[in-house]
Every structure is written in structure tokens, then in C-alpha cells.
């Protein structure tokens, strides 16, 4: 989607990319020219970062790596048990093993070299063995890393020929080795540490670094951007905290998260066992993230992050209503909103949509434009509330009078009849993707529709709310348009099955 240039920018993507590339180059040089970098979070399509840091491009991290393409190779880790269990990525709805292939294609399209795949915690799982054969057939190098008893606490055993020494040595050829994975818990850090052990045995000097965008270490603990990260991981056990090791070593307050702080003493012991001494005095030392230096308008980022926290709260409410979420996530998000000093009233579209729904007795939706104008939509005999809201917003942006129809009822009626009478759909109203196709056709011969169609990029970055849970199709269209959507945790119809 084209960027809406009217949205207030709080983050300089160009400054960030420049600083980040230099930081990684410096870290490579620090370790004599070989660096294993654990890459947390999303390498591309990082929409959370683009929402809380307006101006951050969702593919900025992969673009930054592209600037280092001649120095970089990628190793993708996938846990053998996740292959066996057909673990699914919640955001994409595809299994980890399928996503690994998607990642390889994506990296290759960006001009990045994928050197190999490593099956972590391998224990002769039949599905993992079958997948390994498939990868070999596709011409990929595959390595096995095994379950190590006592990991991560039994350091003497782990850093030995019976521990890391049992793992396959991953052959790499470039100075920067990025270790990434389809999802969390795939064993990326263990892969990096295992490689340090093997490189040491071969007399090769190598280092380790960690790249996580959030929490941002040089922002305050209770900064809205960091609170928004906790909101994004409310279903996990991640908690932002002051890095006590960094504070003790440097008398400087920095922010990290509990898992890295808890495991650092063990990591430090591993570094000392592998290399004789630890290159790092704290978890913060291990990181290379420069996102905090890319913020150019702190207030804009704070405002965006507060909206994200409320959105995450509504996502949790909807997940709970669907039977897919827990009370604990909702309760944690309520506490985070209290910490950030915000409530649902700080999201104007919520009240506007709900009031419209109460007035009309049916589903309603609202969207907030850049200038603060709230546009609503209600359900009618030919348009759903989201469709009506979208058309009303486009008319307002394009300067088309409200009484003019952008889409002719004469065009909509036969399509609705087709859906019900021929295709057997119970709902005659068009989904948003269908409506936009009709609008694009109308734009060929209708000047007003043409103006409205041209205004579609202006929806990117806007906030919207629906008084009911929307279909997965409509939710996907909102995402594709770049509209930040929330929904009330209730269905339009009282039934058990919802698509």
C-alpha cells in the first residue's frame, strides 16, 4: 500500500538504516571478521514496528541487510518438534515448515543468500526426517542439532564434545551469518553458540550478537513504545525490565526483557568456557539494535504506541470471545493501559461506532481521518457497515458530495443476487474486496468514483472500529489498506459457526 504522506512521522527510516548497518559492520570487525547474529522478530513485514514507530518501513530490516548482502548469509533454524506437530504461525495461518520455504523465497527475492537450514532439537522425528529429505531434494544444505541434556544450565556438559560437539558444524562462507527462524522458540541462540564452539575448535575467531527491535534499550522502561511491545506479547511471559547487569557494570539504565536477563549468567559462563572470557558484561551489550536513535518525533511515537496498546486490548477481547484467548492476556493488557495512562476513550472511533450502532440498531463502523474527522457507516439493504464507512470516507477525502452514489445500486443488485441465488451465500452484502473491485470498475466511466478510487492510499495509517466482529475476508482487506482496525468482542448474529 502506498504511504499516506499526511500521517505524522515519528521515525526516520533512512537514519535508522544507516546507523544500523554501521553498527553491524562495527560488531563484525570487533570479532575479527566473523559474526553470528541471532535475529529476533520479523525480518520483513514488521507491521508492529511500523505502527508504533510511524515512518518505520515494514521491510526496513531486510533492506538494511540487503545493503550488507555481499557480507551476509542466512541460516534458518526450525525445531524438529514443530515439524512433527505441524505448528502453525498464527499471523499467517501456515505451518512452520511451509513458512521456512516462504522465507527462503523471500530472502532470495531480496538478493540475500540462504546458506542452509538447521533442524534443532533433532531426535529422529519421522516428520523431521521426511522434511529433511524434501529440503535435500530442493537442493538445500541441511544440518542437525540435537537435544542437549541439561541445556542451558549444565555449562560444562553443554560446552563439550558430548554437548555442542555432537551438533553438525554448519559450513558458512561469509563474515555475517544471520540466524533466523519461522517463529519463536526455534533454538536460534543455541545454533549461534554451537557454532562459536565449533569455530573455536577450528581456531576461527568468531562472535555473537543479538538483534531484537523491542524493547528499545535506550528508551525508558515505561515509555509507550516499550509498553506496546509488552502488549504485543501479552499472551507470553515476556516482561520488560531494567537490565541489572548493565546498571552494575556501567551505571547506566537500559531496558531489556526478562528472558534475556534471566539467561545471561548462563550465556556469560558459556562464553567464558568457549572463548576464555565473555565479550559482554550485560544482555544489553549483546544487542545491536539502533531503533531508538531513529526516533525524530517522540510525541508522534508515543501517540501511535498508545493506540497500539488499545488495539492489542481489543484483539485480546475478540480472541477471548472466539475461544482462542485467555483471561490472563486481557487482564495483563488492562494493567498495561493503566500503566500507560490510557483507556478505550482515548480511541475516538470506538465510541463513534458504538453510538452509531445503538442509534441504528445494527452493525456500524467508524474511521478517523488525519484531521480528526470521524466518518461512520451503517448497515443498509445493499451495503454492510464497513463498506458504507469506507465509501463515505473516500467521498469525504475526495471531495465528492455525500448524496452521490459511488457505486450504483443497479450494479450491486445483480451481484448480490448472484451471491445468494447462484453461489448459495447466506449473506448477500459484498465483502470489502468485492466492493473495491466494483469501485475500480465504476472508476472507468464515473469521475466521482475515479476520484474516490484515487483516494484509497489516503486510508493508509488511519484508525477504524467496528461494532461487531468482522469476517476474516474484511479484516484482511483493512490490513491490506493499512487501516488499523479494532472490533467489539461480539458477533452480528447469534450462532455458533462464524467465518
How confident is the model over 36-53, as pLDDT tens digits? Answer: 999 987 888 889 999 999
**Phi-psi sector, 244: left (phi>0), alpha (psi -120 to 50), beta:** alpha
pLDDT at 3: 60
- Mean pLDDT for the stretch of residues 153-168: 96
pLDDT at 182 over 60: yes
Residue range 309-363, pLDDT digits in tens: 999 999 999 999 999 888 999 999 999 999 999 999 999 999 999 999 999 999 9
**DSSP symbols for 106-135:** HHHHTT-EEEEEEEEEE---HHHHHHHHHH
pLDDT at 453: 96
- Do 125 and 84 meet the contact criterion of CB atoms below 8 Å apart? yes
pLDDT at 117 over 80: yes
Residue range 62-88, pLDDT digits in tens: 988 999 999 999 999 999 999 999 988
- Mean pLDDT for the stretch of residues 384-408: 94
- Do 142 and 134 meet the contact criterion of CB atoms below 8 Å apart? no
pLDDT at 4: 67
pTM: 0.91
Instruction: Indicate the Cα dihedral angle 474, 480, 482, 484, nearest 10°.
Output: 30
pLDDT at 220 over 90: yes
Q: Among 38-42, 141-145, 166-170, 404-408, name the one with the lowest average pLDDT.
A: 38-42
pLDDT at 2: 54
pLDDT at 492: 81
pLDDT at 11: 98
Terminal C-alpha separation, the chain: 26
Cell of 495: 450462532
Q: Return the closest-CA partner of residue 211 out of 284, 275, 267, 280.
A: 284
Tell the burial category of 90 from Cβ atoms under 10 Å away from its Cβ (0-12, 13-18, 19+).
exposed
Count Cα neighbours of 400 within 13 Å in the Cβ-side half-sphere.
Answer: 22
pLDDT at 498 over 70: no
- Mean pLDDT for the stretch of residues 263-268: 92
Q: Between 97 and 496, where is the model more confident?
A: 97
Q: Return the closest-CA partner of residue 388 out of 370, 419, 362.
A: 362
pLDDT at 382: 87
Q: How many angstroms separate the CA atoms of 113 and 315, rounded?
A: 36
What percent of the chain has pLDDT above 70?
Answer: 97
- Mean pLDDT for the stretch of residues 257-286: 93
pLDDT at 493 over 80: no
- Arithmetic mean of pLDDT over the chain: 93
Largest CA distance in the chain: 78
pLDDT at 408 over 60: yes
- Mean pLDDT for the stretch of residues 116-127: 97
What structural domains and CATH numbers belong to the chain?
13-294 (3.10.630.10), 347-499 (3.40.140.40)
pLDDT at 77: 97
Q: How many angstroms separate the CA atoms of 68 and 219, rounded?
A: 27
pLDDT at 237: 75
Q: Between 74 and 89, where is the model more confident?
A: 74
Residue range 302-314, pLDDT digits in tens: 999 999 999 999 9
pLDDT at 497: 47
pLDDT at 198: 97
Backbone angles phi, psi at 135, to 5 degrees: -65, -40
Residue range 430-469, pLDDT digits in tens: 889 999 999 999 999 999 999 999 999 999 999 999 999 9
* 399: β partners: none
**Which DSSP state fits 183?**
S
Cell of 50: 511500523
Q: Between 383 and 306, where is the model more confident?
A: 306
pLDDT at 235: 84
What percent of the chain has pLDDT above 90?
Answer: 82
Q: Among 63-72, 88-97, 172-181, 476-485, name the one with the lowest average pLDDT.
A: 88-97
Tell the burial category of 402 from Cβ atoms under 10 Å away from its Cβ (0-12, 13-18, 19+).
exposed
pLDDT at 90 over 80: no
**Which DSSP state fits 322?**
T
Amino acid at each position: 500500500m502506498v504511504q499516506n504522506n499526511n500521517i505524522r512521522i515519528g521515525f526516520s527510516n533512512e537514519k535508522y538504516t544507516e546507523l544500523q548497518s554501521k553498527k553491524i559492520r562495527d560488531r563484525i570487525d570487533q570479532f575479527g571478521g566473523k559474526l553470528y547474529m541471532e535475529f529476533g522478530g520479523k525480518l520483513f513485514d514488521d507491521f508492529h514496528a511500523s505502527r508504533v514507530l510511524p515512518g518505520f518501513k515494514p521491510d526496513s530490516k531486510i533492506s538494511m541487510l540487503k545493503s550488507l548482502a555481499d557480507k551476509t548469509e542466512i541460516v534458518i533454524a526450525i525445531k524438529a518438534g514443530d515439524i512433527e506437530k505441524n505448528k502453525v504461525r498464527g499471523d499467517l495461518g501456515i505451518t512452520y515448515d511451509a513458512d521456512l520455504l516462504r522465507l527462503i523465497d523471500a530472502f532470495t527475492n531480496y538478493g540475500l543468500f540462504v546458506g542452509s537450514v538447521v533442524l534443532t532439537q533433532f531426535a529422529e522425528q519421522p516428520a523431521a526426517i521426511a522434511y529433511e529429505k524434501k529440503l535435500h531434494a530442493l537442493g538445500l544444505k541441511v544440518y542437525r542439532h540435537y537435544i542437549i541434556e541439561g541445556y542451558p544450565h549444565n555449562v560444562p556438559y553443554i560446552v563439550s564434545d558430548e554437548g555442542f560437539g555432537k551438533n553438525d558444524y554448519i559450513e558458512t562462507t561469509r563474515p555475517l551469518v544471520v540466524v533466523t527462524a519461522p517463529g519463536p522458540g526455534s533454538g536460534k541462540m543455541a545454533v549461534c553458540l554451537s557454532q562459536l564452539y565449533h569455530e573455536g575448535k577450528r581456531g576461527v575467531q568468531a562472535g555473537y550478537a543479538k538483534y531484537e527491535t523491542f524493547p528499545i534499550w535506550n528508551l525508558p522502561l515505561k515509555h509507550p513504545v516499550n509498553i506496546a511491545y509488552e502488549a504485543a506479547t501479552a499472551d507470553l511471559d515476556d516482561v520488560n525490565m531494567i537490565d541489572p547487569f548493565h546498571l552494575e557494570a556501567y551505571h547506566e539504565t537500559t531496558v531489556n526483557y526478562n528472558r534475556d536477563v534471566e539467561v545471561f549468567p548462563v550465556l556469560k559462563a558459556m562464553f567464558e568456557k568457549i572463548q576464555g572470557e565473555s565479550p559482554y558484561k550485560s544482555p544489553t551489550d549483546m544487542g545491536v539494535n539502533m531503533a531508538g536513535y531513529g526516533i525524530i518525533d517522540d510525541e508522534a511515537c508515543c501517540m501511535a504506541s498508545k493506540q497500539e496498546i488499545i488495539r492489542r486490548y481489543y484483539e485480546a477481547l475478540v480472541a477471548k470471545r472466539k475461544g482462542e484467548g485467555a483471561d490472563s492476556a486481557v487482564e495483563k493488557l488492562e494493567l498495561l493501559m493503566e500503566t500507560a495512562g490510557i483507556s478505550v476513550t482515548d480511541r475516538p472511533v470506538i465510541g463513534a461506532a458504538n453510538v452509531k450502532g445503538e442509534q441504528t440498531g445494527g452493525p456500524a463502523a467508524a474511521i478517523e481521518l488525519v484531521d480528526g474527522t470521524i466518518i461512520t457507516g451503517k448497515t443498509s439493504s445493499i451495503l454492510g457497515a464497513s463498506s458504507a464507512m469506507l465509501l463515505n470516507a473516500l467521498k469525504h477525502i475526495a471531495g465528492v458530495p455525500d448524496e452521490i452514489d459511488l457505486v450504483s445500486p443497479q450494479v450491486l443488485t445483480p451481484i448480490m443476487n448472484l451471491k445468494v441465488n447462484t453461489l448459495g451465500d447466506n449473506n448477500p452484502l459484498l465483502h470489502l474486496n468485492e466492493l473495491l473491485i466494483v469501485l475500480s470498475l465504476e472508476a472507468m466511466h464515473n469521475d466521482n468514483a475515479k476520484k474516490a478510487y484515487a483516494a484509497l492510499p489516503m486510508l493508509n495509517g488511519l484508525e477504524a472500529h467496528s461494532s461487531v466482529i468482522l469476517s476474516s475476508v474484511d479484516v484482511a482487506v483493512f490490513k491490506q489498506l493499512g487501516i488499523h482496525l479494532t472490533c467489539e468482542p461480539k458477533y452480528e448474529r447469534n450462532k455458533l459457526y462464524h467465518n
